[in-house]
Chain A
């Protein structure tokens, strides 16, 4: 992904041109996009534009899986000779078509960890480089709170961003690769003044559509520290089902475990990286048998801390992007909105 220049390019295409754009991508890439799956939506590889549900509310899990697969082989080995036999990652050139702003912001968070951090991850970087991201604008669902963490707008981290302005799209163009494909497949033209006005109109409409029952709390990271020992964490934590659904659907949970697995012959094997979760009871279990976070209270609080406090201190961004997926996934009703509501209650008590 290369920036085209100092200024972002904006062009307009008609909605009816989208199938041609997707077809053009399909010539050189696997295209993954939101599709209907039962009563929900998921990101899946598609073979035609007709399968794509671009007006999807949200998906069960995020496109994180295309950069950090739930299970990936890091290397293969021969246990009889104690040698690594292969460590090439399987990389598929891919377009993620239809990512929402929250998910693009989530990818930018993952970049901070796996690409720009002290220990760049070659597997992640190879996938990120081989993937084009085409964003699409959205309207908030009742569990969305991306606006609270400044994640309702994607400023970078994508190749194209499609802003729906009614029958047509205002397209932000951010890479030469994607610009060339857009040029070849569609008729991108300069935006008219009316179209610019319509863009501002839909943006305002989106901003006004967030669920007002989700409290907008200032200084959340500071409040996390202030109420670190509050009984609230016991109330919240003792509900935890220890299922790790929260981190499985989270677009920014990136913790992993590494496991060696022998093939059935007992001679060859592979080293796998699998998703781990700080809400897993064994996550903080160390050699010798001590568990640093042995109960729900400690585990849930730790997870919320990383999302709403710790990452901010290190990377100047909340790790939570407010996508709202954990709100639906957690059957015990544990999620950042519950934390915000707690802070709101505390604020009301103080005011009394």
Chain B
């Protein structure tokens, strides 16, 4: 797919067929596409937009090249939708916090468990049919391979265009994983930690330009944890600056519950494995001892 739309002397050789699909979300990120406003027609000139419920009731076509997915996967039905989209599309783009981290729907995961969470909302045994066969809300990337992600809640319109360009025309630009604080320093905004205020910039992926901080609000982590996030060091920083670590951990849940659960699961698996190994080692050392004994 990459490079398929390369321009040749003012003539677009090939316009990729694009579908836009919404899963569990507020549709705000799809709206952000329309918010490109003055550039919207320019963008539409570069693609063949064949399916978008927000703009047309036409059904999804059989064949397409690029699938753009907004929203979290929350049901078995949406798991199937995502798998189908992956099978059909050469390129799959996840847009927005819900699709890239599980986002706000993702909060339904966590230690309480999905069934109990649902019971908090609906009377026991009266789950509406519309809920479908629910699963723990999750990002697209946990179901299928994703070629590109446009992060944040909501997405930045131009970030979306850049990502589409990257995939349609090709690009070798590195996708950065540095965390947010560097952007605040480039913006020369004062750090919330200096006044003992919690901010999730310490571990959140950069790229948004720290726009919440520019507007006077701490980062709430909508871009998701950076793959290089150093959560332990960030907790130490909280202690140093008089910010409650408990509140830091709690705040992380808003956009990172799915990943936190995954990390927890890994840690538990690791612990169980360590325990198994310890037991095995103990058993084998006892066996060694008895061997020695028998030889002695």
Contacts and interface: CB of A to CB of B under 8 A. Distances in A.
Interface of A: 37-40, 42, 59-61, 70, 79-81, 238-245, 247-249, 259, 261-262, 264-267, 275, 277, 279-282, 285, 287, 296, 328-329, 331-333
A297 to B, nearest CB: 12
Contacts, number: 131
A42 B190 CA distance: 10
A196 to B, nearest CB: 38
Interface of B: 7, 9-10, 36, 39, 42-43, 45-46, 158, 161-162, 165, 168-169, 172-186, 188-191, 193-195, 201-203, 206, 226, 228-230, 233-234, 236-237, 240-241
Contacts of A266: 7, 42-43, 46, 165, 168-169
A70 B182 CA distance: 11
B189 A38 contact: yes
A333 B180 CA distance: 17
Contacts of B7: 79-80, 266-267
Contact of A282 (B43, B174, B229): B174
B160 to A, nearest CB: 10
Contact of B230 (A40, A242, A267): A242
Nearest to B195: A39
A331 B237 contact: yes
A61 B185 contact: yes
Given A38-B190, A242-B179, A243-B181, A265 B39 contact: yes
B108 to A, nearest CB: 29
Contacts of B229: 241-242
24 contacts: A40-B190, A42-B188, A60-B185, A60-B188, A61-B188, A80-B9, A241-B179, A241-B234, A243-B201, A248-B183, A248-B186, A264-B43, A265-B42, A266-B165, A266-B169, A267-B10, A280-B182, A281-B178, A282-B174, A282-B178, A296-B230, A331-B191, A331-B193, A332-B237
Contact of A241 (B168, B181, B189, B190): B181
A287 B174 CA distance: 10
A81 B7 CA distance: 9
B39 A37 contact: no
A240 B193 CA distance: 16
Contacts of B9: 80-81
Contacts of B180: 243
B179 A329 contact: no
A80 B10 contact: yes
B174 A39 contact: no
Given A60-B188, A80-B7, A264-B42, A277 B178 contact: yes
A245 B162 CA distance: 25
Given A262-B165, A266-B169, A329 B178 contact: no
Nearest to A80: B10
B42 A242 contact: no
A38 B216 CA distance: 10
B233 A262 contact: no
B236 A241 contact: no
Contact of B179 (A38, A80, A243, A328): A243
A243 B183 CA distance: 8
Contacts of B195: 39
Which 3 pairs of residues, A with B, have the shortest CB-CB distance? A244-B182, A248-B185, A243-B181
A28 to B, nearest CB: 26
Contact of B203 (A80, A241, A244, A277): A241
Contacts of B241: 331
